[in-house]
Structure 1
């Protein structure tokens, strides 16, 4: 095994030990919804409000976002792992078959997701085999619900620790 392959394997294991939020990033083109599950999503700036998502450079969704200039982030809740799995597979618009969704700010929104952020693309940044999409937030909404997280190659949720007395 090459040194590069060993490093990639070690890096993959290290990243599996990091808990990450699970989100479905969506966009529209030609009146059709597109989406993909991502765990590389984060807040970037409060002033102005910005987020970032990372997409594989071969992603069909990335091509749609480049064309449309906007994207939505559905931050999934603990009861939505089936949605995360559905949007993690390949399949273009077929991922929306049998899935409830609505248009919000011109973007596909998944009802029941505790977090929703609609963005205009601010910039695309090349990064290895991925592209980091920087978004200017135009809408942000939350509802009650425990978050869906991904850690150790498994879905879970956040548990609040009791405060020390």
Structure 2
């Protein structure tokens, strides 16, 4: 069986619109950590579980794998610059002052579309990523339009056409 070329897989996955999140935590010494992720999904309603997948090569990977709690900030359409800032490595991501203590006292974005404060439920192997499964302990839901990552760019979801809206 032949393997799929990584470039083909990446090109295909770029066609799948994904939510943009910033995942945050605080380690035992009080240092804040964060990364941008589009590999995020709900997993279970009972119990309420979500998953997010940090790259094993990321500098924050070991901190998140060991974290007892983490926050998933689902970004609003106006937060693309923050997503880019947290996607870069090699700098203090919290210098801009965008994050404040939120649910479970975890670093959160006040302007996020939603925030999910989680306790660690499981860590699974996912190839070159780990799969962090979090049990949702607290939720904030705003009314902002979400930020979406599609075809290697940040965008807003398109409004539903009248025909689609009527079908609901």
- The total of aligned residue pairs comes to 161
Moved runs in structure 1, 4+ residues, more than 3 A?
Answer: none
Paired residues of 1:74 and 1:115 also in contact (CA < 8 A):
yes
Q: CA deviation at 1:67?
A: 3.1
TM-score by length of 1: 0.92
CA RMSD of aligned residues (A): 1.5
Q: Distance in 2 between matches of 1:53 and 1:137?
A: 12
Matches within 5 A, 1:94-105: 94-104=92-102, 105=104
Q: Deviations over 1:47-78 (max 9, x none)?
A: 11110000111223221123331110000000
Gaps of 5+ in 2: none
Q: 1:7 aligns with which of 1, 5, 26?
A: 5
Structure-1 residue corresponding to 2:24? 26
Gaps of 5+ in 1: none
Structure-2 residue corresponding to 1:65? 64
Q: Deviations over 1:102-158 (max 9, x none)?
A: 112131111101110000111000011000000000011110111000000011011
Structure-1 residue corresponding to 2:119? 120
Structure-2 residue corresponding to 1:157? 156
